[in-house]
């Protein structure tokens, strides 16, 4: 009696590879949909702005919007890096104000409310950046190595550094800044402010770093599951402290942009900045739990906030009243959180 024919098994490896490719394709598509979810809203805002005021669609207005949001964008990129690791830093707001204040105070003459040391302007710029590095290293060490609560500790640092910022100049404004000190915020390149080019480069390099560099991928791994990342051989503490330093350095650089834009450093520079920073990050899909979000999303969050603020300023109904801008930012955050819940960007 002949044996019944045995069916040949299906080629499992090919099925597995095909299934993996399909899953990866769906995952990539879903990520892009999440990252670009704000684009229709941005287009809608452009249409609304055109009806609100004819000056909205002019090139000069868009350049102004980009220049005014460049410093905010740099701080958002900085905070995004920290958020991706599962931590956050409220004191970036204070670094944004204190670093340029200290640098300007040390190099400006007494006529401009400075110390009058007559130091080289480039030394003042180096001091600005050094303040960022020192504050970031201190915050990182205390939060990561010594285990202080990130919210409480960085809030305390925000209050401390802001007090120093106001105290060293007795609440006055420093002006008569050297041309080198204000270059980033005052000069143009190819008709576009240098600060906009710098912020664009920060977002581009950060996105490429997170996507292709091993430390960038480690940042996502740490934010996603710290213990698993540690078990995989990633130097979790070292990476997190490094991110704190880089973020604080970017905040100091952003403060230098604003000082150049207004040609002065005020004792109130940076006040309430952190609210807009978190608003842009949350709107852009950056998870506060860490490990989720991309720089593209954070950038769209900055653009959306900038357009809303510009429309409110140009609108004859609000007449530039800032409390409507604050109210709109709060409402946008609530809407973004609701949308994040619906599309699953928030962890359950």
The two three-digit tokens of residue 289, written as one number: 């739990």
Per-residue confidence at 174, pLDDT binned at 50, 70, 90?
Answer: very high
The pLDDT assigned to 34 comes to: 58
Most confident of 77-86, 173-182, 312-321: 77-86
What are the pLDDT digits (tens) for 227-285?
999 999 989 999 999 999 999 999 999 999 999 999 999 988 988 899 889 888 988 88
Q: Which residue has the higher pLDDT, 202 or 324?
A: 202
Sheet strands (E) in the chain: 188-189, 192-193
Q: How confident is the model at residue 338 (pLDDT cuts 50, 70, 90)?
A: confident
In the predicted structure, residue 45 carries a pLDDT above the cut 60: yes
pLDDT at residue 330 above 80? Answer: no
Mean pLDDT, range 63-77, rounded to an integer: 94
**89 vs 281: CA distance, rounded Å:** 13
Q: Is the pLDDT of residue 125 over 90?
A: yes
Query: Which residue did the predictor score with more confidence, 91 or 3?
Result: 91
Q: Which two tokens stand for residue 65?
A: 């919007």
Residue range 98-127: average pLDDT? 89
Per-residue pLDDT, 166: 92
> What is the predicted pLDDT for the residue at 33?
57
Q: Which residue carries 């359950």 as its tokens? A: 348
Report the pLDDT averaged over residues 167-179.
Answer: 89
Whole-Å CA distances, 250 to 96, 291, 322: 9, 21, 26
The rounded distance, in Å, linking the Cα atoms of 108 and 122 is: 12
The whole-number pLDDT of residue 340 equals 59
Class of domain 41-48+58-342: mainly alpha
Tell me the domain boundaries of the chain: 41-48+58-342
Q: DSSP string of 132-146? A: HHHHHHHHHIIIIIS
C-alpha distances (whole Å) from 34 to each of 294, 336, 346 are 10, 12, 12
Rounded distance between C-alpha atoms, residue 272 and residue 220, angstroms: 28
Res. 116 pLDDT band, cuts 50 70 90: confident
Give me the long-range contacts of 104-112 (CB less than 8 A, separation at least 24): 104/174, 104/177, 104/181, 104/259, 104/265, 105/168, 105/169, 105/174, 105/265, 107/178, 107/181, 108/174, 108/175, 108/176, 108/177, 108/178, 109/176, 111/176, 112/174, 112/175, 112/176, 112/177
User: For residue 147, is pLDDT > 70?
Assistant: yes
Question: Please, are residues 75 and 302 in contact by the beta-carbon 8 Å criterion?
Answer: no
* pLDDT at residue number 208: 95
β 192-193/188-189 pair status: antiparallel
Q: How far apart are CA 224 and CA 216, in angstroms?
A: 13
């Amino acid at each position: 009696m002949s044996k019944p024919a045995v069916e040949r098994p299906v080629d499992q490896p090919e099925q597995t590879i095909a299934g993996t490719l399909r899953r990866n394709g769906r995952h990539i598509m879903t990520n892009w949909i999440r990252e670009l979810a704000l684009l229709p809203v941005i287009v809608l805002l452009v249409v609304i702005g055109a009806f609100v005021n004819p000056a909205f669609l002019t090139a000069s207005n868009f350049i102004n919007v980009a220049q005014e949001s460049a410093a905010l964008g740099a701080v958002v990129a900085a905070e995004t890096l920290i958020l991706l690791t599962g931590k956050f830093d409220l004191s970036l707001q204070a670094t944004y104000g204190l670093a340029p204040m200290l640098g300007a105070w040390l190099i400006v003459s007494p006529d401009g409310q400075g110390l009058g040391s007559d130091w080289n302007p480039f030394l003042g710029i180096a001091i600005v950046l050094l303040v960022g590095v020192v504050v970031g290293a201190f915050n990182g060490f205390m939060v990561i190595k010594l285990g202080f609560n990130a919210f409480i500790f960085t809030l305390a640092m925000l209050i401390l550094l802001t007090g120093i910022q106001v105290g060293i100049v007795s609440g006055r404004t420093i002006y008569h800044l050297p041309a080198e000190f204000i270059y980033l915020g005052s000069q143009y390149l190819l008709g576009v402010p240098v600060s906009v080019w710098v912020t664009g480069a920060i977002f581009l390099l950060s996105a490429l770093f997170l996507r292709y560099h091993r430390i960038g991928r480690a940042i996502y791994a740490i934010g996603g599951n710290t213990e698993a990342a540690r078990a995989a051989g990633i130097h979790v503490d070292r990476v997190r402290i490094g991110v704190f330093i880089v973020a604080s350095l970017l905040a100091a650089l952003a403060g230098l942009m604003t000082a150049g834009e207004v040609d002065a450093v005020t004792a109130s520079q940076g006040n309430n900045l952190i609210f807009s920073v978190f608003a842009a990050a949350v709107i852009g899909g950056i998870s506060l739990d860490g490990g989720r979000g991309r720089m593209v999303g954070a950038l769209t969050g900055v653009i959306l906030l900038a357009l809303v603020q510009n429309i409110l300023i140009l609108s004859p109904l609000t007449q530039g009243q800032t409390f409507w801008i604050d109210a709109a930012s709060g409402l946008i955050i609530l809407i973004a959180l609701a949308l994040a819940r619906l599309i699953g960007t928030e962890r359950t």
